Structure 1
Amino acid sequence: MQSIIAFIVVFGSIVFFHELGHFIFAKRSGILVREFAIGFGPKIIGINKGETLYTVRLLPMGGYVRMAGDDADVIELQPGYRIGMLLNNQNEVTKIVLNQNKQLPDMLFLEVEKADLQKELWVEGYDEDEKLVRYHIARNAVIEENGSELIIAPYDRQFNSKSVGKRAMTIFAGPLFNFILSVFIFIIIAFITGVPTYEPVIAGVVKDSPAAVAGMQKGDVVTSIDGKSIDSWQELSDAIQKNPKKDLTLDVTRGDSHKTLTVTPEKKDIEGQSIGQIGVQYQSPVEKNPVKALLFGFTETYHWIIKIFTILGALITGGFTIDALSGPVGIYKATEEVAKYGVVNIMNWAAVLSINLGIMNLLPLPALDGGRLLFFGFEALRGKPVDRQKEGMVHFVGIVLLMILMIAVTWNDIQRFFF
C-alpha cells in the first residue's frame, strides 16, 4: 500500500504540474479550456467549475488539457436543425438545445437557416410563425445535446486564433512547469538535509587499499594532486580514475596539519574501460544556508538536465534498445524501491522524474510538446501556418506510434519484473 500511495503521489504530482503549466498559460492567453484531465480513458471523477471540467481518469499514463479549437470541438448548426433557445434580458441566446421537442418554460423554437457560432455569433431561422428571424448569441452561451452541455467557443477564445508566441508558450509551459517543480523539490530537500558542499573530504578508507597503504585517514581533505588544486570531490575522482597504476602526489589537510602522500591507484576494468581506484569512501559534508538552499534547487536541476541529455546522446550514438526505457510499470517498481529509503529519497526521485518528463516532452517528435513547437517554428519562418490537416495527420501517426511504443515498453516491464 505504501508503494501504491508513493507512486500515485509522485506520478500524479508530476503530471499535475505539467498540465497546470499548459492550463495557466492557456488561461492567460484567453483560450477556453474545456477539460483539465489527469490520466486517460474512462472518467473516475469529474467536477465542473466555471467553464472547465476537472477529471481524474482510469489509466495513469499522463494527462491532458483540452482547449477550444480542437477538431472534435467544432460545433455546427446545420440548416434544417430544429433547436430550442433561451434568451436573457438583452434578447441574446444564452442556451441552445438540440434534439429537444419538449416545450420548456420561456423556450423559443427555431428551424435553423444559417448560423455563425465563432465570429459574429448569431443564428438565423424560421420561428413557429414561419417568420425569418435572427438572434444574437451570447459569448458564454451553452449548447445542450442529449443532456450534455458545452460552452460555445468564439474564435478569439480558440487555441488557433492566438499568435504563434502565445501558442508556443502555452505548449512550452508544460515542460517548463516540470523544471519548476524539480527546482521547488530540490530546494525543500536542501532545507531539510542541508546543501552538500562536495568538498574532497575522505569519509572512510578501505582496509589494505592503495589509500590505506599511502597512509590516508578518515577526515583527510585533499587539496591538490601533483601540484594541481583540487576543489571538489568530482575533481578528485576524475584525477584518480584517469591515472591507474601511476604514482600520484596528494597534498592533504589533516586537522591543523598538512601532509604529502604518494598513492598508486589500482587498475579496474569497468564496462570495457580501465579506471583507477584507491579505495576511499565519500559522503559530502552539508551546510544549512537558506540562500545556498535556494540556489541548490536551480543548480541541481541544471545538473540533472545536462546528465539526462548526456544519457540521451549515449542512447542515440550507442544504439537504441527498448530495454533502456521504462513505462508506468517500470516507474512504479522503481518508486517502490526508492520508497524503502524514506521521504527525502522519494522527493529526490520525483524531482528527477519531473525533469525526465519535461525533457522527453520537448523532444521534436510528433504528438509531443516538442513536435508541436517544431510546427510553430515552421509557421514563424514561413509566415503562415502549416496546413492543419497535414499537421493533424502527422500528430495522429505520432500518437499511434507512441501508443505502440508504450505498449511494448509496458510489456517489457511486466516481463522484467514479474516473470
Structure 2
Amino acid sequence: MEFLGHIGQFGTGALGYLIPFLFVLTLVVFVHELGHFLVARWCGVSVKAFSIGFGPELVGFNDRHGTRWKISAIPLGGYVKFLGDEDGASTPDRQALDKMSDDERRDTFFGKSVWQRAAIVAAGPIANFILAIAIFAAIFTIYGRETTTARVDQVVAGSAADIAGFKPGDLILEIGGSKIESFNDLQRIVSTSADLPLTVLVQRGGSELTLQATPARREVTDRFGNVHRIGQLGLSRDASAANVKVERFALPQAILLGAKETWFVVDRTFAYIGGIFSGRESADELGGPIRVAQVSGQVATLGFVALVNLAAVLSVSIGLLNLFPVPMLDGGHLLFYAIEAVRGRPLSARAQDLGFRIGLAAVVMLMIFTTWNDIMHLTSL
C-alpha cells in the first residue's frame, strides 16, 4: 500500500504512466476473468489456463486442478481458456471436441447447458460491477465523501443560469426529478447535460419554484492540460470551510451509494453513446489503452484513492463494453445463447464462425479508432 501511495513520485515520465496503468488494468482484468473462472469451476468446467495479458508467457504455475496461471508479455487484457476452447476468446476447437468421449465433453464449456454457459460468460462483467461497487463503498466508508451544500453563492452575469433566473441564495433541490443533496450532485448532472434543457426545482426564501435552464457547452482545461467539453450553467458555490463537510458512511449505506455511483457511470456512458449517434457528442473523446495509461499516470499523482477510484470507473466501463452484443465480446456470446434458448438448438457452426469474424473486425476497428484518437490527443497537448 505504501508503494502505491507514492506512485506519483515517478512523475509524468514513461514509468510514471506505466506503473499506474498496469496496476489499474491488471486489477480490472483479473477480477473480470476471475468471475468467469469461479462460475466455470462451480459449473464443473475444466479450466486449462488463466492468463493476465496475451502472447508469450513470462511466468506461471499449475494449480492442483491442472489450471495454468500465468502472466503474459502483452498486458492489454487477459483470458480464461476452458477445455475444448481453441483460443482465449472461447472459440470452440471443433476437431478436438469431435474426438472427445461423452465423459470428456461433460467437462468442457460447450458440454454444459445453455444456462450454465450464459452464467459463466455473464460472470465476467458482473464481477467488474461488483468490483466497482466494492471500491466505491470502501472509499465512502474509509475516506468519506466531501460535500458542499447545493446553495448558489454567485451567478455569472449573462450565463445560462442568469438567463434562467437563478439568484444568489437559491438552494437547488431537484434536477429533472433527481434529488440534489450537494453541489457535487449539481455539477455532475450539469457537466454531462450540455445543450440539454433541465428542469430545476429551487428553494428561494420560504417558497419553491421551478426554473428551466440549458447548460452551455464550454471547453475547460484540467490541471494536467487535458481539454474537456462539458456543460456549464454559470453558478458558483460557497467553498468556505464552514460550508464543506466530509461524511463517512456505515458499510450497508456505503454499498448502496457504491451501487448508485456504479449506475451513474453506466447511465452517463449510455447518454454519451446516444449523444454520439444523435450528433450532440463527439466520438473523438473515445479513448484506448494509450489514453488510459496517460490518465492513470496523471490520476496517480493525486494519490492512491484517486487511482483506485479510476479503477472502479474503468471496471464499470469494461464490464459494460463486454455486454455489448458483439461476437468476440461476452455480450456476443450471450446473444448466441439467447438465440439457442429460443430455437432449442445452437446456431450452425458456419453462422457462429461468421459472427466471430464480424465481431473481430468490429473490435479491431474500434481499437484502431480509439488508438488514433489517443495519438491525436497526445499531439494536441
What TM-score range do you get, normalising by the shorter chain?
Answer: 0.7 to 0.9
Q: Give 1:29's aligned residue.
A: 43
The structure having more radius of gyration, on CA atoms, is 1
Q: Give 1:287's aligned residue.
A: 247
> Is residue 2:127 matched to residue 1:167?
no
Amino acid at match of 1:118: S
Amino acid at match of 1:67: F
Is residue 201–residue 284 contact of structure 1 (8 Å, CA) maintained in 2?
A: no
Q: Give 2:272's aligned residue.
A: 311
Alignment match of 1:406 (pick from 339, 362, 367): 367
Alignment match of 1:69 (pick from 75, 79, 84): 84
Cα distance per residue 1:313-346 (max 9 Å; x no partner): 2222328865232111111011112112112211
Q: CA deviation at 1:405?
A: 3.0
Residue aligned with 1:363, SS = coil
Q: 1:230 to 1:116 in 2, by over 3 A?
A: closer
Query: Separation in 2 of the partners of 1:185 and 1:243?
Result: 31
Bigger Cα displacement from structure 2, 331-340 vs 395-404 = 395-404
Q: Give 2:67's aligned residue.
A: 52
Q: CA deviation at 1:188?
A: 1.1
For normalisation by structure 1, the TM-score amounts to 0.67
> Is residue 2:171 matched to residue 1:222?
yes
Q: CA deviation at 1:310?
A: 1.5
Residue aligned with 1:40, SS = strand
Q: CA deviation at 1:17?
A: 0.5
Q: CA deviation at 1:41?
A: 1.5
Report 1:7-406 matches (<5 A).
7-50=21-64, 51-71=66-86, 73=93, 117-119=100-102, 154-195=104-145, 199-201=149-151, 205=154, 216=168, 222=171, 232-233=181-182, 234=185, 250-251=203-204, 269-270=216-217, 276-280=233-237, 285-290=245-250, 291-318=252-279, 323-406=284-367
Query: Separation in 1 of the partners of 2:338 and 2:207?
Result: 58
Tell me the C-alpha RMSD between the 2 structures.
Answer: 4.1
Query: Separation in 1 of the partners of 2:48 and 2:257?
Result: 38
Q: Give 1:105's aligned residue.
A: none
Query: Separation in 1 of the partners of 2:233 and 2:96?
Result: 71
Structure number with the higher helix fraction is: 2
Q: 1:285 to 1:209 in 2, by over 3 A?
A: farther
Q: 1:58 to 1:414 in 2, by over 3 A?
A: farther
Q: Give 1:106's aligned residue.
A: none
Is residue 215–residue 261 contact of structure 1 (8 Å, CA) maintained in 2?
A: no
Amino acid at match of 1:44: L
Q: Give 2:224's aligned residue.
A: none
Q: CA deviation at 1:289?
A: 2.6
Structure 2: gaps of 5 or more residues: 1-14, 88-92, 191-195, 219-228
Identity among equivalent positions (%) equals 32
Q: CA deviation at 1:201?
A: 4.4
Query: Separation in 1 of the partners of 2:351 and 2:126?
Result: 27
> Is residue 2:39 matched to residue 1:6?
no
Structure with the larger RCO, 1 or 2 (CA within 8 Å, 6+ apart): 2
Is residue 136–residue 258 contact of structure 2 (8 Å, CA) maintained in 1?
A: yes
Amino acid at match of 1:168: A
Query: Separation in 2 of the partners of 1:229 and 1:269?
Result: 20
Q: 1:19 to 1:198 in 2, by over 3 A?
A: farther
Query: Separation in 1 of the partners of 2:35 and 2:264?
Result: 22
Amino acid at match of 2:34: L
Q: CA deviation at 1:20?
A: 0.5
Amino acid at match of 1:374: L
Query: Separation in 2 of the partners of 1:37 and 1:267?
Result: 48
Is residue 200–residue 230 contact of structure 1 (8 Å, CA) maintained in 2?
A: no
Q: CA deviation at 1:269?
A: 4.2
Is residue 327–residue 355 contact of structure 2 (8 Å, CA) maintained in 1?
A: yes
Q: CA deviation at 1:306?
A: 1.5
Query: Separation in 2 of the partners of 1:364 and 1:266?
Result: 36
Is residue 38–residue 57 contact of structure 1 (8 Å, CA) maintained in 2?
A: yes
Q: 1:197 to 1:292 in 2, by over 3 A?
A: farther
Query: Separation in 2 of the partners of 1:119 and 1:368?
Result: 28
Q: Give 1:148's aligned residue.
A: none
Query: Separation in 1 of the partners of 2:231 and 2:266?
Result: 27
Residue aligned with 1:341, SS = coil
Q: CA deviation at 1:177?
A: 0.3
Report how many residues are paired.
Answer: 330
Structure 1: gaps of 5 or more residues: 78-114, 121-153, 253-258
Q: CA deviation at 1:76?
A: 6.2
Amino acid at match of 1:119: D
Q: CA deviation at 1:365?
A: 0.8
For normalisation by structure 2, the TM-score amounts to 0.73
